[in-house]
Structure formats: structure tokens, C-alpha cells
Structure 1
Amino acid sequence: MFSNQANMRPINSYPKWVYGFLSVLLALMVLYALPNMYGEDLALQVTGEKGEAISEPLFKEIEQHLTDSGLVIKKSSNDESKALYRFNDSESQLKAKDLTQALLRAKNAGDFSVALNLAPATPDWLKDFGANPLKLGLDLRGGVHFLMEVDMNVALKNREEQYIADLKTKFREANARYASVVRSADVGLVAKFRNEESRDKADVTVRQNFPELQTRTREQGEIFELVMTISEQKLKEIKDYAVKQNTATLRNRINELGVAEPLIQRQGADRILVQLPGVQDSAQAKRILGTTATLQFRLVNESGGINPQRAPAGAELFKQREGGNIALRKSVIVDGSHLTDASVGYDERSMPQINVRLDAEGGSKMLAATSKNVNKPMAILLIETKGVYETVDGEQKLVDTYEEAEVVSAPNIQSALGSSFRITGQFTPAEAHELALILRSGSLIAPIYIVEERTVGPSLGKQNIELGKQSILVGFVAVLIFMLIYYRMFGLVANIALISNLVFIIAIMSMVPGAVLTLPGIAGIVLTVGMAVDANVLIFERIREELKEGTAPAQAIHNGYDKAFSTIADANITTLIAALVLFGIGTGPVAGFAVTLFIGIMTSMFTAIVGSRALVNLIYGGKKLTKISI
């Protein structure tokens, strides 16, 4: 006689391995939820201009200076990315910032960023397991607020220079010989010709190929000029495009930073509003968002010699990162607009390098130039556009801009290069990662400057948040008491499952990269807690119905869980679909609600069905029951 081994197991029982698995899972969830119990410390962060940490002697000197000034430092640390000094109160934190800035100015120690931050107080033993607290959104914890302005003058200049290159090509194709095509601050673009016939050919060419350019003719002595002005509609398109493209680039950079639920939106004609909830390293965010970095690859003008003081004819003089000057040819082989990817790697000496990939056009240009110049030096020029600010009526105003150009390295061309190659130089790991991020996320159409920067506090205020926490706690406790009184032992089981569900939600949100808890997210948690209770209520009421019909207690428990499962699954799956739709089309608070709702539904189904049944089986399984407490 043959029988199914599984059928020999007593009713309402699980194999031992199931209990072992659930115990380990619960222990892991508790472990990863635990960091949220420790809160955060008020901290002062000091980093270098390029994001690198300060030297150990300077780190110790700042610490000693703060201690000598009567401040109590709770804890200090200095790793490869930042130096942190933790304090017990905000007064000490603010005083430490002023003292540190004064010390750095007095020492003339270079450019450093000194910022107020909140640092997680998670113990080191939890960090060793990779356990970190979940991030709070702008409406709960606050964050960083930037108002950024797009430099429309540079956007227009770049577009006009593109027009000049295109016009020259079209004039050559039409055999309209020109003397020059230049930008004019007064009228726009001016093309100069030595005879009227060439100018007329050019005029026809412009009207046929560039209808957005309005043309008129004039004479300056023996020079015949064609004046071209960009139409108002096209000017608006150029400015709109600059804002839209810069917004997209900022979004890419923020995604690289790992910030969840950022607010990025246009404000006015030339400004972009950026809010980053839960960001601790405001200095890094400001540096990455505000940096306009692009690369140029140029051949070195070797006639200038070593460390030239004057630029030879047809060349420009630039500073080298390693020190001294270098002369580069004016013509650019490839610039950052052809770059499609940039990642960090390490060379044969374990030094950081940036691996670059170009598009097809850029690869062709690079191949053509390097094939003819093997064994000659080619420079990698990094150009950053920065702003000069003045504080007017308590608000930062952009008053001027300037470019900083630096030759990262100028190695010899060992062989012809194509679409993929590497950039080596004296990079620190932090510099290499940051530069790769900026290049990878896309070049900005025009420079952007931070005209307003502030730390945003909770939008509902501290008191309202505390009241919200209290109301959630009161509601949660009320549900626990009701379940315990109404369903007795089974109510206790439901309460344990309910508490486990809350632990699971917090732990998973703490583990998921980029997950941020917002006020709507708390509403999502409350909703899933209610749904978890509903699931247990359906099961318990089904068990009661079975008992009323005269079913044996053990069989009633079995039937209650089995028959209620389809109803619970249907209700949760439809809500799950709604959560996915909300996440897909929603932004900001709506997406925050959807994330916690999705996670909560998954955990509540697991704890309400699998978790509670495991406890019920542990209590009642394998026993001859005549009565159960429900």
C-alpha cells in the first residue's frame, strides 16, 4: 500500500525547517530595523573642494581647536570622503562651524566646504552588517533646497557658434565665398563678403536652410555684409531647450547621487527648483549639481617647449594639474558632447583612471586625429564654469562667471584611438568618481548657478509631526487591544503578526537603496496595517463559522486559513496593482505613498497568512482539540 508522505503529517503543522526559516528571517528583519532606534547626531562635516577628505594632521588640529574652545565632541571620524565631528546640541554644532571656518581662513589652508549635517548614530557593529536607518523625506526630516539659474547668455552664445559652423559649411557648398562669419553683440551674426554676388548667394542659402534667421544687407566700404538675427520664436525655443535639457541632466545627476523622490521643476523663464529630501551631504550635492564640467581633447603644441610662459602662434596656454604651463593647439579634436559613458577603473599601478566611451562621430574624429599623430602628446583639458556670488539683502546673487581650465594629463599617443580609451592623471578616488559622475550624467547645455541655497525644515512643523506619531501609536495600540479582547488567543497571534509586519516594513525600507519615508508614506503604512488586520479578521471569522457548523476545532482552523486565502489574495492583488500604477505615473508624495503601500501589502500578506498560521500551528498543531480560544 502506497501513501503520500506529506499526508502523514498531523493537521495544522509545519516542518521544522519552516520554523527555522521564519525565525532567521524575523531575526534579520529585526537586525535591519534596529538602526532606526538610535536616531541621528548633530554633526559638522568638513571636506575638500573636490570632495576629498582633509589630511589627518588638519583633522586633528580642528578637533583640538574645538576642544580648546570649550566644545564637547561626542565622536569624530575622518574617512576617504569626509571628516565628521558630532555634538550633543545644536548650539555646539553652530559654534563649531564658525570656529572651524575661522581656523581654515587663518591658516589659508585652501578651499574647504564646512557644512552642518545630521549623521546616523548607528553603532559600528550594526554598520558591519550593512544596516542603516531609513531616510526621511523633506516633509518629515527636511533636506536641501536649491534654486538654480541657467546662464542664457552662454546658451545663446553656444547656439550662435553652432550656427556659424553650419553657415560656413552651407556657404562653401553654395560657392558663396566669404571673408568671415562672426558673432556681433549688437546685431547677432555677421557674414562678410568681398563682392555682392557672393553675398546674394549666401542670402539665398540662409533663407532656404535657416528660415529662423532674419537677414538684411549692408555695406561697410568695400565689404558687403549679411546681417542675420535669430527670430523671437527661435530665441524662446533655444532658452526653453536649455532649461529642459539642464533639468534632465540635473535629474540624471540626482539619480546618480541616489536621492529618492527629489523635486525638480522649472521656475520662471530661466530657473530650476531642486529639493533633495533626506540629503546629509549637502556640500557634495551642491558641488555635483552646480558643476558644469566638460572635456576637450587637443594636441599639444610642442614648439612651445616645456613650461612655456607665452603661447606660440595658433596655440593657447593652460595650467597643468601637475604644475606648470602647457601650450595646446586651438583646434579641438573631440569635446564632451560626444561622450556617451564614463566609469572609474584602476591602472596597472592601482591608481584611479576614468574609462571613456565616445559616440560613433566622436570615435571617428578621434581615430582620424590620433592615426596621424602617433607618439605625439595629446592633452585632456577639463573645463569648469563657475559663478561669482554676492550677498544682497540676505540672498545670494550671481554677479559674474568665469571658466577654470586645467590639463588633467598630456600622455603620448601610443596607438590610434577609437571610441573607447582611458584617462589617467593624478586623481584621488573621490575626484575620479565625482568627475566620472558629472561626465556620465550628461553635459549641461549652459552653465547653471546656485542663486539660493537653504536647508528646509519639516513642512508641517515639529509639533505636527509629533502629534502625527502619537496618533499612529494610539491607533496601533487600540487595534492591538481590540484584537486581544475580541479574539483572545487568536487575537494575540494577530498582534504578534501585526508587530512583525511593522518591523518587516521598516527593515525593508531601510535596506532598499534610495527608499525615503514621507508623510504620505506613513499613511501607506497605516493603510497596510489596517489591511493586515482585515486579513486576520477574515480568517478568524471563517474559523468561527466552521465551529458554529460543528466542524472539529483542528479542522476549523485548517479550513479557516484555506478558504479565506483566495478572498485575501484577491483584495491585496487589486490594491497591489493600484500601488504599481500610482508609482508608475505619480511623483513626489504620490510615489512615496505608493512605495510604502507596495512594500506593506507584500509584508502584510506574508505575516497575516504565513506568519500567523505558523504561530497557530505551533500552539494548536498536533493536539487533540476540544475547544479553542477565539
Structure 2
Amino acid sequence: MNRKGKDILILAIVVALTVCVGLLAINGAQIGKWRLKPVGSAISLGLDLRGGVYAVYKAKDPNQADLDSLIEGTISIMRTRLSDKGYNEATVTKQGSDRIRIEIPDVQDPAAVLDIIGTPAKLEFRTSDGTVVLTGDDVKSATAVTDAAGSEYKVRLVLNDSGKEAFAKATSESIGKAISIYLDDNEISAPTVNDAITGGEAVIEGNFTLDYARELASLIQSGALPLDIEQDEVSAVSATLGVDVIDRAVLAGVIGVILVMLFMIAVYRLSGVMASLALAIYIIVVFYCMALVPGIQLTLPGIAGIVLAIGMAVDANVIIFERIREELKTGRGIESAINRGFKNALSAIIDSNVTTIIASFVLMYFGTGSIRGFANTLFIGVVVSMITAIFVTRALLKCVAGIGFTNPKLYSR
């Protein structure tokens, strides 16, 4: 196959894949039991689009040693607790140097959820003289169970090896005495030891309801928070955009992109057609990234970040096409003009995109909430736009030139 045939085949495959992937992104697909959701339904929406609750906790002692590692450990436990309660779309992130921010979309009972998040859950077994013989670190697993009659709920603990040994020793030395069980320094039960317990299991009783037993088991299972924290800020957030308004925003975005494509085609002709195809690929990739990258939520500022990134993608193509047009005016052939045009435009494109990427990194690290949402989408959009401008647009232009469209008038007014 000659070059012209190869370029026609490549261009046809790119167009077909773009159309197919675009339709999958819009409509999804169902193949037997396997289902691909539309990208729109797979993108996690932020608080401003869905409503929910956010809270900020701060370290009681911001000057303590290893603060960063303590915060990371606390964040991990908070995520586990939220996941155990079914809040899989909640986000827990570090804010500044000594704060933790939690955002939970679609919450019906904010107070109950925040109660679970902020509870230290420090579990201790103490002998009658106050000696701590067992802590939450010695617990391998915790589950809510019922008694034989099924009328009372308890929490059954399975101890790890060190806990099993320590508990066996403590119970053998405390026969006839009480071993009190404390949660966050509050005594919840004080059973009397009748025999040494060597099986590596313990039970917490206290007239619990099923919900409380499950909650207590979840707290113990996830572990105590390694950092002493206090609530600094909390707020319930109602969705500022309804479904109708979001649909209108999507429609406005589609119309805007089509108008931009028509403008590029009118001014740059065949180059504009290839840029429009590259822009379609860019938009599809960005929204798939939004759906697949963990921790990314679409917010109102995030939409602004996407719009800005699309503008930068178009700007990169305009810079390239202007350089190509300048080369064509000197009498160069189309392939030579494409190569020279991209070479001359490369430094300007990289400089503008890299500075924007650096700015988005700064906003992601130091920003909070809506600012971070803007930075996330801007970062994804700019990285993808730089790749599509430098590689995709160039490859498409080389294909149409290889097919035989070499008249300079096809590439510019």
C-alpha cells in the first residue's frame, strides 16, 4: 500500500474511532451482562451540583512532630469509616498544613455522618487499678452480633496474636474482678472476669441497638484516629444548579464548541477541519479522564476550568496554523510548511501550557474546595490539550497532506 492509501486508511480509522467512542461516551453500551455507563453519569458531581455537607477539622496541636504522617493516617481512617457507611463518593483531603477537609455529596443526615468521621474511637480495656491491658491496636476484627436469643446486640472482637496473649494474661490475673471497657475515655461496660479468656476473642455488651453495635464495630475496625482533631468548620450545602440548568449549560457548551469549529474551518479551511477533529478527540479524552481518575469531581469552578482549557487548546491550534501560513507565504511546500510551522510554534505552546500546569499545581496544593475543583479540571484539560495540539493535530495534517491535498489555498484564506 502506497503512502496515499495508508494516510486515507489512518484518517478513516481516526474518524470512525472518534465517532464510535463519542457515541459510547454519550449513550453508553450494553453487551450481555457487561454495561458501559455514559460518561456523564460516571462523572462524580461536587457539592455545588448535587448538594451535601462539608466539614473541616484541624489538629489540636499543629506543632507536634510527624504532623504530616499523622494527618495522612487520619485521612486514611476517615476514608475507611465513610466507605464502611456507604459514602463511597465522599472525598477526604488535606487542607493547608494542619487541616482535613471532608466533602460528602447527597447526605440526608449530616450530623450523624460527621459524628462518625470525627469520633476518635480510642478503645481500651482497663483492669480495676486502671492499668490498660488492651487497646484498639490489638483488635484484628470487630463485628456486630446478637446473643443466642437474638434479642441483644453486642460487638465481638477478634484479637491479633499480641492482643490474644495480653488478654489471656490480664484475665487470668483478674478472676473475680472487673475489666472495664472504655471508648474515648468513657466506660461502656465493666464485666467481671470468671475465667481466663485464652481464645483470642472478647465481647462488648451494653444494651446496644443494632445500628449502634454496627457503628461501634465500624469505628473499632477502622482504628483510632492517630491525630487529636477538633471541628473547625461545618456547613450543609444545597445544590446551586438543578438538572435543567445543567442540561442548558451542556447545550450552551455544545453550541459554543460548534461555533468555534465553524470559525476555524472558515479561517483555516482544511487545517480547521483537522483542528475540529482534534478538538472533538480532546473533549472526549478530557471527559473520560474526569470519569476515570479517582478523586476528581465536577464542580461549577471545574466547568470553568474545562472551558478555559478548551480555549487554550484552540489557541494552540491557532498559533500553529498562523506559523504554517507564514511558511506557506515564503513559498514552501505544504509538508515543509507543516513541519516548520509546528517547530516554530512549539516553544510558545509548551511555555504557555507549562506555566498553566504549574499554576494549577499550586492551586491544587494550597487551594481548597471550589479552587481545587477548578485546578483539577484545568490541569487535566491543559495536559490533554498540549498532547492533542502537538501530536494529534500534526498527525492529522500530515495525513491530509499525504493524501494529496497540497494546494496552499486549502490551508488558509
Range of TM-score over shorter length: 0.5 to 0.7
Residues 407-426 of structure 1 aligned to structure 2 (within 5 Å): 412-413=197-198
Q: Does 1:477 align with 2:305?
A: no
Counterpart secondary structure, 1:495: helix
Residues 175-324 of structure 1 aligned to structure 2 (within 5 Å): 253-256=77-80, 257=82, 259-260=90-91, 276-279=103-106, 285-286=113-114, 288-289=116-117, 291=119, 293-298=121-126
CA shift at 1:548, angstroms? 0.9
Q: Does 1:511 align with 2:300?
A: no
**Number of the residue aligned with 1:332:** 132
CA shift at 1:442, angstroms? 3.6
CA contact (8 A) 1:259 1:279 kept: no
Counterpart secondary structure, 1:621: helix
Task: Give aligned pairs, total.
Answer: 368
Residues 108-127 of structure 1 aligned to structure 2 (within 5 Å): 125-126=34-35
What is the RMSD computed on CA atoms of the aligned residues? 5.6
| TM-aligned CA distance change 1:557 to 1:264, over 3 Å | closer
- Of 534, 538, 545, the residue aligned with 2:315 is 534
CA offsets, 1:449-508, max 9 Å, x none? Answer: x9x995x32236777656654543443232122112112222121112112212211111
**Number of the residue aligned with 2:49:** 140
**Which structure has greater strand proportion?**
1
CA contact (8 A) 2:158 2:202 kept: yes
**Which one has the largest radius of gyration?**
1
CA shift at 1:533, angstroms? 0.5
Partner Cα separation in structure 2 for residue 479 and residue 368 of structure 1: 71
CA contact (8 A) 2:125 2:133 kept: yes
Q: Does 1:566 align with 2:347?
A: yes
| TM-aligned CA distance change 1:518 to 1:405, over 3 Å | farther
CA contact (8 A) 1:579 1:594 kept: yes
**Number of the residue aligned with 1:500:** 281
- Of 399, 407, 410, the residue aligned with 1:618 is 399
CA offsets, 1:217-246, max 9 Å, x none? Answer: xxxxxxxxxxxxxxxxxxxx99xx9xx9xx
Q: Does 1:434 align with 2:212?
A: no
Partner Cα separation in structure 2 for residue 366 and residue 445 of structure 1: 30
| TM-aligned CA distance change 1:458 to 1:532, over 3 Å | same
- Of 592, 595, 608, the residue aligned with 2:389 is 608
CA shift at 1:371, angstroms? 6.1
| TM-aligned CA distance change 1:570 to 1:290, over 3 Å | closer
Residues 439-450 of structure 1 aligned to structure 2 (within 5 Å): 439=223, 441-442=225-226
| % same residue | 30
Partner Cα separation in structure 2 for residue 545 and residue 131 of structure 1: 41
CA contact (8 A) 1:138 1:518 kept: yes
CA offsets, 1:411-461, max 9 Å, x none? Answer: 9447xxxxxxx878899xx87993466415447678x8x9x995x322367
**Number of the residue aligned with 2:379:** 598
CA contact (8 A) 1:528 1:600 kept: yes
CA offsets, 1:129-164, max 9 Å, x none? Answer: 99961111112221235799x9xxxxxxxxxxxxxx
CA contact (8 A) 1:376 1:412 kept: no
Of stretches 573-582 and 608-617 in structure 1, the one that deviates more from structure 2 is 608-617
CA shift at 1:528, angstroms? 0.6
Partner Cα separation in structure 2 for residue 562 and residue 539 of structure 1: 9
Counterpart secondary structure, 1:140: helix
Q: TM-score, normalised by structure 1?
A: 0.45
CA shift at 1:561, angstroms? 2.6
Partner Cα separation in structure 2 for residue 486 and residue 293 of structure 1: 65
CA contact (8 A) 1:143 1:279 kept: yes
| TM-aligned CA distance change 1:465 to 1:273, over 3 Å | farther
| TM-aligned CA distance change 1:564 to 1:261, over 3 Å | farther
Partner Cα separation in structure 1 for residue 47 and residue 189 of structure 2: 36
CA shift at 1:618, angstroms? 3.2
CA contact (8 A) 2:125 2:180 kept: yes
> Which blocks of at least 5 consecutive residues in structure 2 are unaligned?
83-88, 144-155, 205-209
Counterpart secondary structure, 2:122: strand
CA shift at 1:512, angstroms? 1.4
| TM-aligned CA distance change 1:484 to 1:518, over 3 Å | same
CA shift at 1:613, angstroms? 2.5
Partner Cα separation in structure 1 for residue 140 and residue 285 of structure 2: 35
CA contact (8 A) 1:29 1:507 kept: no
